[in-house]
Amino acid sequence: MPISISKRHLLLLLLVLLLSKSNSANPNPSDKLTHIRFYFHDIIRGRNRTDVRVTKPAVASPAAFGMITVMDDPLTEAPDPKSRLVGRAQGFYAAADQNELSLLMAMNLAFTAGEYNGSVLSVLGRNQPFYPVREMPVIGGSGAFRFARGYAEARTHSFSRDVAVVEYNVYLMHI
């Protein structure tokens, strides 16, 4: 039995197909692919502390569930804290898992030097600090990173009682 379709329905179907194609995750040929590597220094104790705990954990647990910390961490070119400063990671992280340490990260990566000076990337996602590699989505950007989308891979470089140094590799598509 042949299927009959009106011209109006056919036009609507074509319009939906065109709109879905234009809004797909496929990169636009004019978009740039950028890879940026830097080191994040979260200074947890001491005189030059870069984070402040806003709330304590809701209950005593190894997951620290309910803890919220605000940060303003330096970003450098190399793991050495004296290496060239390229920006700041500003935002917060919250322990959002009752069973294992898993952080909700909401941060702006504000670049203050070099090629991306004045540009910002926004990252929002899950960070499980005891995993060797963590992946978080980049949800937007400004300046050189307008319409940015991509992901950030975090790998702990070193961790001491006072400082966590994390290597970030960020992969972006942007205009």
Q: Is residue 4 part of a domain?
A: no
Q: Is residue 1 part of a domain?
A: no
For residue 130 the two structure tokens come to 């005891």
What average pLDDT does this structure show over 159-163? Answer: 94
Domain count, the chain: 1
**Residue 28: pLDDT band with limits 50, 70, 90:** confident
Q: Is residue 37 part of a domain?
A: yes
- What does the pLDDT read at residue 29? 76
Sign of CA dihedral 144, 148, 153, 156: positive
Q: Residue 127: which CATH number?
A: 2.40.480.10
Given a cut of 60, whether residue 131 has pLDDT beyond it is: yes
Given a cut of 70, whether residue 79 has pLDDT beyond it is: yes
- What does the pLDDT read at residue 20? 47
- What does the pLDDT read at residue 30? 80
- What does the pLDDT read at residue 10? 54
Q: Is residue 34 part of a domain?
A: yes
3 state DSSP class of 11:
helix
What average pLDDT does this structure show over 1-10? Answer: 58
Q: Is residue 169 part of a domain?
A: yes
Structural domain including 134 reads: 30-174
Tokens 């939906």 correspond to 16
pLDDT, one tens digit per residue, over 138-151 is 999 999 999 999 99
